[in-house]
Chain A
Amino acid sequence: MALEMNQPGVWSKSERELRGAFLSQLEVIPGGDKIKACIQCGTCTGSCPVSYAMDISPRGVMALFRAGDIEAILRSRTIWVCASCYVCTTRCPAGIKITDILYALKRIAIEKGIFPSRFPVYHLSEQFVKMVNKYGRNYELGLIRRFNFRTGLKKFWQMAPLAWKLFIHGRLSFRPSRIKGLDQIHKIIASAQREPVPVSRETSEFLGTVGYAATTEVEEKVAAGGNQA
């Protein structure tokens, strides 16, 4: 996706696409439309325990959304560094669900494939999903092994002493715990996977007020997903 110059007040094509994806994700979040109410006070950034490790602060994320540069947010470290502690959401005087908004942005980045290869957060999530799909439950040892193989073997050896310590204290299981209803959960996952994220039409009128209405074409593209980068 090539970055185009934004005309003042006009979103570029790529921005429109990302915006469409983002706005339809926002609608699922109860109170997601409150993003409009941001007063740029910086409480989120000031409260965030990991903002020091971000390149764009949470407040900056809100500002960039308004300015029409979602791509810059997706290319930042910010969405991946968030530890889901929810302090920003709790303290935001405008009631913006900042953590859930960062989740939404993360999903779009994954959908569009915007992240470096060997990127730890993505691989951890991906392997976690695979474990759960396979066994119905998380299998810690399998997760650590697969995760470290994908992000660098050096880490695997660094983990070894800790894994050993947990093992001798009886805290590391070598056999995954499988649920009996694997067949049932596979059916549920398959059925849920077919559907795009739903949008309740009653809440969708705010789409127009932020300066952009999703076209059917864009919505279809979003639903199709896949790596378009």
Chain B
Amino acid sequence: MKYLYYPGCSLESQAQAYDVSLKTVLRLLGQELHEIPDWNCCGATAYMSVKETVAFSISARNLALAEKMGGEVIAPCSSCFTILTKTNRYLKAQPALKELVNQALKAGELEYNGNTTVRHPLDVLVNDVGVEVIKIFAKRDLNGLRIAPYYGCQLVRPERGFDDREFPTTMDDLFSELGGKIVYFPVKVRCCGGMLMSTFPEVGLKLTKEILECAYENQAEVIITTCPMCHINLEAYQKKINKRFKTNFRIPIWYFTQLLGWVLGATEEELGLKYNLINISKEKLSKTLEAV
């Protein structure tokens, strides 16, 4: 399968760690990634709530570019993933909307027939590459590292995708196979607040605190995420949360691709660990056994 890469705006700036580590993981597993040339912003939730038709049109521009290349789109950011999937779903259900979007695309000499499939890298890694193959490539064993896999909202909802919407287990299964200890983490699909952290901080801080608290109480040594928005809320706001709620959190937040890359034997540079504000301590990392 030819994989087309749609990084999205966050992975270019704030979430470079995700970009670097995802590319490393796919390279180590022998998968080729072709970036969609000149992709644009998917529109995210913010655009959708202002101008609907325009939002669908700019989102469809990416899908049209991908359609020309042929292949499946990999969208690592949960928000991009959900918006691009939503665009596909809406255009399929509403012929009038599709016609209108195509009229707009035509002004830019593009056309979209609805043949682009959008997938999340977690889905591709587990269901296309497969856990068994990943295990063959594994150079390290997680050796009981206590992991809290956080899925967030827009990866598993609103429509049923590759995993359950209430109790997804893809990451749990993957990392327990690789030697990790998955902690009790019932908040794995609870909302982190998303943009509320900027718009209504009191609400955002409370939601994110509840997730960190659950990981803390269950002695997680790392929370792994699939979304740049969840990542920045959980990681960068820990200090503010500690101040606001008189807590004492200092939990490393990694992208799931960083942890997977570590198992596959990638170096710290190849995983973009320097971008993380809080990292897993060296002693804990050295506990992971070389060569299984």
- Chain A contact residues, CB within 8 Å of chain B: 25, 28, 30, 49-50, 53, 80-81, 83-87, 89-90, 97, 99, 103, 106-107, 110, 120-121, 124-126, 128-129, 132, 136-140, 144, 147, 162, 165-166, 169-173, 177, 179-181, 184-185, 187-193, 195-201
Question: What residues of chain A lie closer than 8 Å to B203, measured between beta carbons?
Answer: 50, 53, 81, 83
Closest chain A residue, CB of each to CB of B207: A49
A-B contact pairs, 10 of them (CB 8 A): A49-B190, A53-B203, A83-B203, A86-B153, A86-B154, A128-B46, A137-B12, A177-B9, A192-B104, A195-B104
* CB proximity of A50 to chain B, nearest CB, Å: 6
Question: What residues of chain A lie closer than 8 Å to B154, measured between beta carbons?
Answer: 84-86
Q: Name the segment of B68-76, B86-94, B248-256 touching the other chain.
A: B86-94
A177 to B41, CA, bound (A): 11
Question: What residues of chain A lie closer than 8 Å to B207, measured between beta carbons?
Answer: 49-50, 83
Question: What residues of chain A lie closer than 8 Å to B194, measured between beta carbons?
Answer: 83-85
User: Which positions 34-79 of chain B face chain A at CB distance < 8 Å?
Assistant: 38-41, 43-54, 56-58, 61
Binary interface profile of B, 84-112, with partner A (CB < 8 Å = 1, else 0)?
00000110011111011101111111100
Closest chain A residue, CB of each to CB of B198: A124
Across the interface, do A198 and B100 meet the contact criterion of CB distance under 8 Å? yes
B191 interfacial contact with A, CB 8 Å: yes
Question: What residues of chain B lie closer than 8 Å to A179, measured between beta carbons?
Answer: 38-40
Across the interface, do A90 and B157 meet the contact criterion of CB distance under 8 Å? yes
User: Which positions 222-255 of chain B face chain A at CB distance < 8 Å?
Assistant: 236-237, 240
Question: What residues of chain A lie closer than 8 Å to B10, measured between beta carbons?
Answer: 138, 140
Question: What residues of chain B lie closer than 8 Å to A86, measured between beta carbons?
Answer: 153-154, 157-158
Question: What residues of chain B lie closer than 8 Å to A87, measured between beta carbons?
Answer: 153, 157, 189, 191
Across the interface, do A192 and B198 meet the contact criterion of CB distance under 8 Å? no
* CB proximity of B123 to chain A, nearest CB, Å: 18
Which of A97, A190, A200 is the most central at the interface, judged by chain B CB atoms within 10 Å of its CB?
A: A200
A196 to B53, CA, bound (A): 8
Question: What residues of chain B lie closer than 8 Å to A85, measured between beta carbons?
Answer: 153-154, 157, 190-191, 194
Q: A30-B93, A173-B13 are in contact. Are A53 and B200 (CB under 8 A)?
A: yes
* CB proximity of B102 to chain A, nearest CB, Å: 10
User: Which positions 135-154 of chain B face chain A at CB distance < 8 Å?
Assistant: 153-154
Our pick among A124, A128, A165 for the contact of B236 (Cβ within 8 Å) is: A165
Closest chain B residue, CB of each to CB of A162: B236
A26 to B119, CA, bound (A): 27
Our pick among A125, A140, A181 for the contact of B38 (Cβ within 8 Å) is: A181
A28 to B53, CA, bound (A): 10
Across the interface, do A107 and B14 meet the contact criterion of CB distance under 8 Å? no
Our pick among B58, B157, B198, B275 for the contact of A185 (Cβ within 8 Å) is: B58
Question: What residues of chain A lie closer than 8 Å to B199, measured between beta carbons?
Answer: 80, 120-121, 124
Across the interface, do B16 and A171 meet the contact criterion of CB distance under 8 Å? yes
Across the interface, do B108 and A181 meet the contact criterion of CB distance under 8 Å? yes
